[in-house]
Chain A
Amino acid sequence: MSTTAETAPRSLSRRRMRVDGWRWTGRIFLAFMLLYTAVPMIWMLI
């Protein structure tokens, strides 16, 4: 009984970590795209 109770939260936290990985990948990618898009425009303004 205690084994089941222990494994459930562990698998949940593992899944949450995996979801966070995708989220962070998305954030880093968006930051890169923002840089790629904005730098030429900022350069134009300067």
Chain B
Amino acid sequence: MTIVTGKAEARRRLESGRSSVLRQIWEHRADYAYVLPAIAVMLVVIAYPIYYTIELSFFKTPPGLQLRDKTFIGFDNYTTILTSEVFWRVTWNTLIWTLGSTLIAFVLGFATALALHREFVGRGVLRAILIIPWVISAVAASYIWKWIYHSDFGIIGAVLVGLGLADRPPNFIDSVNTVLPSLIVVNIWREFPFAMIMMMAGLQTVPEQLLRAAQVDGASAWQRFWHVTFPHLRNVSTVTILLLAVANFNSFIIPWIMTGGGPSNASHIWITHIYELAFGRQRWGVASAYSVLLFLTLMTLGYFYVRALSGNERQEGSA
């Protein structure tokens, strides 16, 4: 009897909840009408491609056949991906690429922001020069660095040979061992200014009185940084790292233009591999399954980003 009463109560609550949601929608019908066109456009340009990609990931799409001739194969594309050696190689590359680029770009950007925080002659000019790599296009940056790394005409090879550090100019982007670190250097070059700008903005919020009080109490420069400056920058650091991680995960232009994923898949990351599978080999099903995995990974990062942002807002609200 008690159970029946409990069930009835739960049903009554559910129904009242539903009716209150419907009532609220009806009360705000004008607001919903205003956002309806935007929602419709989003459904067409965002929701439908996501749905179609997920659907396509369950089909076999042999090259040479039209997409309407695809055959349903369930989770076979996912099994093919997860059991292939290339997938783990590409995943490892993606991890090194994302973690390496993100962490080093963040550390360099943070250190530059700290060094530029002090007043000195020419600070504005230096700041402007350091921001330029972030402003120029990734395509231009890729071609510049391709020439810098060139084994015959590149400046790095010439300097190394000139200094007697190498007998002949090294093949930076033609060797499986050096290609990924070389690309990471280029990516860091383009992205550290972003971290620098974010951290410079964050440094403006550190209370000067606290730093002075710590100095009066005899705290060293390192202690002032570690116990006063850094705790104030924790949230902006989290947001910066997450934004850099998402951007690097999605990074396509630099690896694709500089190496096209080669040599021997040594510089393929997820996004370039997906592009090659879809538009190079026309394996739409496998490429879609890869895209779904990438989407889930990015959604996870996005979740942490939103959590970090809402944490910031809560802190600002309580302050």
Cβ-neighbour of B144 out of A23, A29, A30, A44 (below 8 A): A44
* Given A22-B221, A29-B112, A40-B129 contact (CB < 8 Å): no
| Complex: chain B residue closest to A28, CB-CB | B115
Decide yes or no: A18 and B189 within 8 Å by CB, A26-B115, A26-B118, A38-B129 being known contacts.
no
B145 within 8 A of A: yes
B residues 186-206 in Cβ contact with A at 8 Å: 189, 192
A5 within 8 A of B: no
Number of residues of chain B lying within 8 A (CB) of chain A: 23
B173: CB under 8 A from chain A? no
Binding site for B on A (CB under 8 A): 18-19, 22-23, 26-27, 29-30, 33-34, 36-41, 43-44
Q: Tell me whether B111 and A34 are in contact (CB under 8 A).
A: no
Residues of B within 8 A of A26 (CB): 114-115, 118
**Contact, CB under 8 Å: B118 / A36:** no
Q: Which residues of B contact A22 (CB under 8 A)?
A: 221
Roughly how many angstroms separate A45 CA and B114 CA in the complex, as a whole number? 30
Given contacts A18-B220, A40-B144, A44-B144, whether A30 and B189 have CB atoms under 8 Å apart is no
Q: Flag whether B25 is at the interface (Cβ < 8 A).
A: no
The answer to whether B81 has its CB under 8 Å from any CB of chain A is no
Q: CA–CA, A44 to B145, complex, Å?
A: 9
For residue B141, give the distance in angstroms from its CB to the closest CB of chain A. 8
The reply to whether B129 and A19 contact each other, CB–CB distance below 8 Å, is: no
Q: Are A34 and B129 in contact (CB under 8 A)?
A: yes
